[in-house]
Amino acid sequence: MEAGLEKPKVCGTCGAGDAPLKCPCKAVFYCNTECQGASWREHRKVCTFDLKRKLERERDRVGGDDIAIAKACFKLGSLYQQQDRLSEAEEMYLEALRIDVVLQGEWCDAVATSSGNLAVVYDKQGRLDDALRMHKRALRVYRRLYGDGHLNVAKALMNVGICLWTKGQLEGAMAKYEEAHAM
Protein backbone atom coordinates (compact mmCIF):
# COMPACT_ATOMS: atom_id res chain seq x y z
CA MET A 1 0.00 0.00 0.00
CA GLU A 2 1.36 3.40 -0.91
CA ALA A 3 0.31 5.13 2.30
CA GLY A 4 2.91 3.10 4.21
CA LEU A 5 0.37 1.34 6.40
CA GLU A 6 1.26 -2.25 7.28
CA LYS A 7 -1.55 -4.69 6.55
CA PRO A 8 -2.30 -7.00 9.50
CA LYS A 9 -0.94 -10.51 8.94
CA VAL A 10 -4.27 -12.31 9.29
CA CYS A 11 -4.94 -15.47 7.28
CA GLY A 12 -7.28 -14.67 4.42
CA THR A 13 -8.92 -18.09 4.72
CA CYS A 14 -9.30 -18.96 8.40
CA GLY A 15 -8.63 -15.61 10.09
CA ALA A 16 -5.71 -16.84 12.22
CA GLY A 17 -3.30 -14.11 13.32
CA ASP A 18 0.41 -13.86 12.50
CA ALA A 19 0.02 -15.61 9.14
CA PRO A 20 3.56 -16.09 7.76
CA LEU A 21 2.79 -16.71 4.06
CA LYS A 22 2.03 -13.79 1.75
CA CYS A 23 0.70 -14.08 -1.79
CA PRO A 24 3.10 -12.44 -4.29
CA CYS A 25 0.34 -9.89 -5.02
CA LYS A 26 0.79 -8.64 -1.43
CA ALA A 27 -2.96 -8.47 -0.90
CA VAL A 28 -3.50 -11.52 1.33
CA PHE A 29 -1.70 -13.62 3.95
CA TYR A 30 -2.08 -17.31 4.76
CA CYS A 31 -1.21 -19.32 7.86
CA ASN A 32 -0.26 -22.42 5.81
CA THR A 33 -0.34 -23.91 2.32
CA GLU A 34 -3.64 -25.66 3.02
CA CYS A 35 -5.38 -22.33 3.65
CA GLN A 36 -3.66 -20.88 0.59
CA GLY A 37 -4.91 -23.75 -1.57
CA ALA A 38 -8.41 -23.58 -0.12
CA SER A 39 -8.90 -19.95 -1.11
CA TRP A 40 -6.94 -19.92 -4.38
CA ARG A 41 -9.98 -20.35 -6.62
CA GLU A 42 -11.55 -17.17 -5.24
CA HIS A 43 -8.34 -15.20 -4.70
CA ARG A 44 -7.16 -15.96 -8.22
CA LYS A 45 -9.89 -13.67 -9.60
CA VAL A 46 -8.35 -10.68 -7.81
CA CYS A 47 -4.68 -11.69 -7.58
CA THR A 48 -2.73 -8.93 -9.32
CA PHE A 49 0.37 -11.13 -9.52
CA ASP A 50 -1.51 -13.87 -11.39
CA LEU A 51 -3.36 -11.38 -13.63
CA LYS A 52 -0.11 -9.62 -14.53
CA ARG A 53 1.43 -12.96 -15.58
CA LYS A 54 -1.66 -13.72 -17.68
CA LEU A 55 -1.42 -10.26 -19.26
CA GLU A 56 2.21 -10.84 -20.23
CA ARG A 57 1.37 -14.25 -21.74
CA GLU A 58 -1.49 -12.67 -23.69
CA ARG A 59 0.83 -9.92 -24.96
CA ASP A 60 3.30 -12.56 -26.13
CA ARG A 61 0.49 -14.52 -27.80
CA VAL A 62 -1.10 -11.67 -29.77
CA GLY A 63 2.11 -9.74 -30.34
CA GLY A 64 0.52 -6.28 -30.33
CA ASP A 65 -2.47 -4.22 -29.35
CA ASP A 66 -5.66 -6.18 -28.83
CA ILE A 67 -9.00 -5.56 -27.11
CA ALA A 68 -8.32 -8.50 -24.77
CA ILE A 69 -5.12 -6.81 -23.62
CA ALA A 70 -6.95 -3.51 -23.07
CA LYS A 71 -9.58 -5.30 -20.96
CA ALA A 72 -6.91 -7.10 -18.94
CA CYS A 73 -5.05 -3.81 -18.35
CA PHE A 74 -8.30 -2.18 -17.22
CA LYS A 75 -9.08 -5.03 -14.82
CA LEU A 76 -5.58 -4.95 -13.39
CA GLY A 77 -5.81 -1.16 -13.02
CA SER A 78 -9.09 -1.54 -11.13
CA LEU A 79 -7.55 -4.07 -8.75
CA TYR A 80 -4.49 -1.89 -8.16
CA GLN A 81 -6.81 1.05 -7.50
CA GLN A 82 -8.79 -0.97 -4.93
CA GLN A 83 -5.49 -1.80 -3.21
CA ASP A 84 -4.40 1.88 -3.26
CA ARG A 85 -1.48 1.01 -5.53
CA LEU A 86 -2.17 4.18 -7.46
CA SER A 87 0.92 4.50 -9.64
CA GLU A 88 0.43 0.93 -10.88
CA ALA A 89 -3.28 1.61 -11.44
CA GLU A 90 -2.41 4.71 -13.45
CA GLU A 91 0.02 2.74 -15.62
CA MET A 92 -2.57 0.05 -16.40
CA TYR A 93 -5.39 2.53 -17.10
CA LEU A 94 -3.14 4.53 -19.44
CA GLU A 95 -2.24 1.37 -21.34
CA ALA A 96 -5.90 0.33 -21.61
CA LEU A 97 -6.82 3.83 -22.76
CA ARG A 98 -4.07 3.91 -25.38
CA ILE A 99 -5.09 0.54 -26.83
CA ASP A 100 -8.81 1.39 -26.83
CA VAL A 101 -8.21 4.69 -28.65
CA VAL A 102 -6.00 2.96 -31.24
CA LEU A 103 -8.41 0.08 -31.88
CA GLN A 104 -11.85 1.62 -31.27
CA GLY A 105 -11.31 5.34 -31.60
CA GLU A 106 -11.90 8.10 -29.07
CA TRP A 107 -15.68 7.73 -29.01
CA CYS A 108 -16.26 4.41 -27.25
CA ASP A 109 -17.53 3.49 -23.81
CA ALA A 110 -14.20 1.90 -22.84
CA VAL A 111 -12.39 5.22 -23.39
CA ALA A 112 -14.91 7.05 -21.21
CA THR A 113 -14.75 4.44 -18.45
CA SER A 114 -10.94 4.30 -18.41
CA SER A 115 -10.78 8.10 -18.43
CA GLY A 116 -13.14 8.30 -15.47
CA ASN A 117 -11.22 5.70 -13.49
CA LEU A 118 -7.93 7.41 -14.30
CA ALA A 119 -9.44 10.68 -13.07
CA VAL A 120 -10.22 9.05 -9.71
CA VAL A 121 -6.61 7.86 -9.45
CA TYR A 122 -5.32 11.35 -10.23
CA ASP A 123 -7.71 12.81 -7.66
CA LYS A 124 -6.42 10.43 -4.97
CA GLN A 125 -2.86 11.42 -5.91
CA GLY A 126 -3.77 15.10 -5.51
CA ARG A 127 -3.29 15.78 -9.22
CA LEU A 128 -6.50 17.77 -9.57
CA ASP A 129 -5.75 19.37 -12.96
CA ASP A 130 -5.12 15.93 -14.48
CA ALA A 131 -8.22 14.57 -12.73
CA LEU A 132 -10.39 17.38 -14.11
CA ARG A 133 -9.00 16.86 -17.61
CA MET A 134 -9.86 13.15 -17.51
CA HIS A 135 -13.32 13.72 -15.99
CA LYS A 136 -14.05 16.19 -18.79
CA ARG A 137 -12.85 13.67 -21.37
CA ALA A 138 -15.18 11.02 -19.94
CA LEU A 139 -18.04 13.55 -20.03
CA ARG A 140 -17.34 14.44 -23.69
CA VAL A 141 -17.28 10.79 -24.74
CA TYR A 142 -20.44 9.87 -22.81
CA ARG A 143 -22.29 12.89 -24.24
CA ARG A 144 -21.30 11.95 -27.77
CA LEU A 145 -22.21 8.29 -27.28
CA TYR A 146 -25.47 8.66 -25.36
CA GLY A 147 -26.59 12.28 -25.58
CA ASP A 148 -27.74 14.42 -22.69
CA GLY A 149 -30.12 12.79 -20.26
CA HIS A 150 -28.23 9.50 -19.93
CA LEU A 151 -27.24 8.30 -16.45
CA ASN A 152 -23.54 8.06 -17.41
CA VAL A 153 -23.61 11.70 -18.57
CA ALA A 154 -25.20 12.76 -15.27
CA LYS A 155 -22.58 10.83 -13.27
CA ALA A 156 -19.77 12.35 -15.34
CA LEU A 157 -21.21 15.84 -14.74
CA MET A 158 -21.28 15.15 -11.00
CA ASN A 159 -17.66 13.96 -11.12
CA VAL A 160 -16.59 17.14 -12.94
CA GLY A 161 -18.51 19.14 -10.33
CA ILE A 162 -16.85 17.33 -7.43
CA CYS A 163 -13.43 17.93 -8.95
CA LEU A 164 -14.20 21.63 -9.49
CA TRP A 165 -15.45 21.89 -5.90
CA THR A 166 -12.23 20.24 -4.63
CA LYS A 167 -10.23 22.80 -6.62
CA GLY A 168 -12.24 25.59 -4.97
CA GLN A 169 -14.17 26.54 -8.12
CA LEU A 170 -17.55 26.58 -6.41
CA GLU A 171 -19.58 28.38 -9.10
CA GLY A 172 -18.43 25.96 -11.79
CA ALA A 173 -19.09 23.03 -9.49
CA MET A 174 -22.62 24.23 -8.74
CA ALA A 175 -23.35 24.66 -12.44
CA LYS A 176 -22.32 21.03 -13.11
CA TYR A 177 -24.39 19.77 -10.16
CA GLU A 178 -27.45 21.65 -11.39
CA GLU A 179 -26.98 20.39 -14.95
CA ALA A 180 -26.75 16.81 -13.66
CA HIS A 181 -29.77 17.28 -11.39
CA ALA A 182 -31.83 18.59 -14.31
CA MET A 183 -31.39 15.25 -16.06
The domain limits of the chain are 7-44, 47-105, 106-183
Give tens-digit pLDDT for 48-89.
999 999 999 999 999 889 999 999 999 999 999 999 999 999
Question: Residue 141 and residue 180: Cα distance in Å, rounded?
Answer: 16
* CATH 1.10.10.10 fits domain 106-183: no
* CA separation for the pair 174, 176 (Å, rounded): 5
pLDDT band at 6 (very low <50, low <70, confident <90, very high): low
State the maximum Cα–Cα separation within the chain, in Å, rounded to a whole number.
Answer: 58
Handedness of CA 167, 117, 86, 69 (dihedral sign): negative
Give the residue from 44, 18, 48, 42 showing the smallest Cα distance to 30: 18
Between CA 131 and CA 115 the distance in angstroms is: 9
pLDDT in tens, 80-139: 999 999 999 999 999 999 999 999 999 999 999 999 999 999 999 999 999 999 999 999
